[in-house]
Amino acid sequence: MQRVICAILPKLHHRENEKGAHVNQIYLSLGSNLGDRFMNLERAVLGLNQFCLLTAVSPVYQTSPWGVTEQPAFLNLCAAATTNETPHGLLTHLKYLEAALGRQVTYTWGPRVIDIDILFYNDWIIHDERLTIPHPHLAERAFVLVPLADIAPTLRHPQLGLTIAQLRQQVDSSDVTPFAETPLQLAWEN
């Protein structure tokens, strides 16, 4: 299956950096706890290439649910990318990708086929009715901080002033266990 996905990836069209366009650095968290969780993450990473240029993808970790604990375990990873999308435009693309992959709206912190959160967008701080960046619970979530520290340990949280490595040291990561190497690693590196 991975070879087929890798063969498809070069055919995708990246949104090019047009003359004078600003390329924005973003960090995303991806998680799945329904269906074929690993395949859901692979498909989501592949789908991101339609509006982002991936620069790093963490290994996959298995984690306990956060918030509502009576549900299956999650697989989680983080990705770094660049995009020409605005923060709200990026959110719209992510919600569309989640729906295309089978996510259905249920309840807060409930089970899901795929969940994609914007963790950081440049060093911007945004808080409105649709979007909060940096992600409001990032500093509390080992399932985000462990994979994010793999790809961006020196990234500094613009509000807290701490690096991701420092934030990771402040959370209990005992229920975050390695699951697999980076999905589509060879595809996004090409």
> Residue 44's closest CA among 56, 29, 66, 55?
29
The catalytic residue among 3, 15, 43, 117 is 117
DSSP 15-37: ----TTPPPEEEEEEEEE-SSSH
Residue 112 is among the residues annotated as catalytic for this protein: yes
Q: What percentage of the chain carries pLDDT values higher than 90?
A: 68
From residue 63, give the alpha-carbon distance in Å to each of 108, 142, 171, 189.
18, 9, 13, 26
Flag whether pLDDT at 84 surpasses 50.
yes
Query: Per the residue annotation, which of 15, 37, 43, 115 is the catalytic one?
Result: 115
Annotation says 156 is catalytic = no
Q: What is the pLDDT of residue 10?
A: 33
Across the chain, how many H-helices and E-strands are there? 6, 8
DSSP state of 113: S
Domains and CATH numbers, the chain: 22-189 (3.30.70.560)
Catalytic residue (one of 103, 141, 150, 168): 103
Instruction: Give yes or no: 117 in active site.
Output: yes
Name the pairing type of β-strands 53-57 and 132-133: unpaired
Q: What is the pLDDT of residues 108-149, one digit of tens each?
A: 666 888 999 999 999 999 999 999 999 999 999 999 999 999
Q: Which two three-digit tokens encode residue 46?
A: 């592949």
pLDDT > 70 in the chain, percent: 79
In which band, very low, low, confident or very high, does the pLDDT at 160 lie, cut at 50, 70 and 90? very high
Q: Could you confirm whether 141 is annotated as catalytic? A: no
The pLDDT tens digits for 30-50 are: 999 999 999 999 999 999 999
Could you tell me the pLDDT band of residue 180, with boundaries at 50, 70 and 90? Answer: confident
Whether 82 and 28 have beta carbons less than 8 Å apart is answered as no
Whole-prediction pTM value? 0.84
pLDDT for res 94: 95
pLDDT at 111: 83
> Pick the catalytic residue: 3, 15, 36, 112?
112
